[in-house]
Structure 1
Amino acid sequence: MLFVGLIALSVTAYAFAQQQAADELKGGAIFKDSMRTATELQIKKTWKRSLLLPGLGQYTNGGLWWLKVPVIYGGFIAGIWAVDWNHDNYRAYLEEAQYRVKYHDAAPLNTNYPRANAQMTQAFINGKDYYRRNRDLMILTTVGWYALNAVEAYVSSMFKYRWNVDNDVSVRVSPAAQPVWNETAIGLRVAVTLP
């Protein structure tokens, strides 16, 4: 899904650059009709709604929103659960490591790991660092999921309101041979023809 979103975003950027270049060739002035202005407002409204409340942009676009919205919130629930789980383990390992460092590798009274040596102290320090890194990574992943929600709403609205995706798209698959070093690689060539 991320790969498809990135491809769609790059296609959107390319199409926007092509449109800007075409407009500059016409004399620099951009004249928009009322339909294009309404379309751009609808697209802006979609991704802004998705930033305001995740899933609202997908609902505005229609289509498969009933499938996308549970996936979005499932991703948020999984991300928050992973942050919480890693943070709990980080705090437990931190307390154990602090006690062992303070009392020269001695094990606390109510511990599940009664071995008291320098290796166990180092293992708790390493575990603390591991869970802290994972907690921070899960926070960044959850923020990225939030941003991906808005990008998906934007790309879907571009496909729905701006671009015409009709039945004129064709795909041709043919065998191909490609020279690689001193050998020949056999494969398939896929050619997509857009209107």
Structure 2
Amino acid sequence: MFKWCVYSIIFLSSFATIYAQEVPSDLKVTKIDTTFIADEINILAPSKAAFYSAVLPGLGQIYNKKYWKAPIVWGAVGTGVYFYVDNNNKYNRYREAFKAELAGREHEFDGTGDNVELTQTSLQTAQTFYKKNRDLSLFITIGLYILNIIEANVDAHLPDNALNTNISFNPTIFTMPTTNQTGFGATISFNF
């Protein structure tokens, strides 16, 4: 058996002939200068951008020279703060009215004059509703604040000239080896 394997390898390798490429005489080969001149990279830029965004939202985006992102950050964080303050004010109104109702004093929602009359249960329900919205607004605002810091840091890590914009998308049709069924897939390549 061993002899048969050796003879097969010798027989098959005798057919493998290697030819070198011949360079035409009219082709001139010149040496290409491959030295890479890199811009000076500031390794502290990501931490500076994150620090500036932590101090004042949007400042890290300005530091990264992405001026158009700063108003988006200000609008997002400002909207969250607005809803927090609005819900907190409404919560305090209904809370004060609920406490006054329990004490038997007059309040904003007792039905006297032009005021709307709300029951003790309605005041408690409104108080719970606005407290829940206030807390949700706070969490969303904190999330947007943290997202602002992360975005500034990541944007400083990935300068525009370091990315290759050659993005490719290749849809393919293949057969699943286990089920012998046709499947569809896609490959997305992003080089940087």
| Aligned residue in 2 for 1:160 | 159
Partner of 1:84 in structure 2? Answer: 85
> In percent, how many aligned pairs have the same letter?
23
Cα deviations across residues 62-92 of structure 1 (Å, max 9, x unaligned)?
A: 2xx2321111111122112111211121112
- Work out which of the two has the higher radius of gyration on C-alpha atoms and give 1 or 2: 2
Structure 1 residues 93 and 49, CA, compared in 2 at 3 Å: closer, same or farther?
same
Unaligned runs of 5+ in 2: 1-37
Structure 1: tracts of 5 or more residues without a match: 1-34, 179-183
1:44 matches 2:47: yes
Is the contact made by 2:52 and 2:60 (CA closer than 8 Å) also made in structure 1? yes
Q: Could you tell me the TM-score, scaled by structure 1's length?
A: 0.62
Structure possessing the higher relative contact order (Cα contacts under 8 Å, 6 or more residues apart):
1
Higher helix residue share: 1
- From the superposition, tell whether residues 41 and 103 of structure 1 become closer, same or farther in structure 2 (CA, over 3 Å): same
Change in CA separation of 1:137 and 1:59 when aligned onto 2, cut-off 3 Å = same
**2:63 counterpart residue number:** 60
Aligned amino acid, residue 41 of structure 1: L
Distance 1:76 1:177, change over 3 A: farther
Residue of structure 2 in register with 1:8 after alignment: none
Indicate which of 174, 189, 192 corresponds to 1:193: 189
Count residues with an aligned counterpart.
147
Counterpart of 2:121 in structure 1 is 122
For residues 92-131 of structure 1, the aligned pairs below 5 Å read 92-103=93-104, 108=110, 109=112, 112-114=115-117, 120-131=119-130
Q: What letter matches 1:57 in structure 2?
A: G
Q: Give the TM-score taking structure 2 as reference length.
A: 0.63
1:185, 1:135 → 2: CA distance? Answer: 52
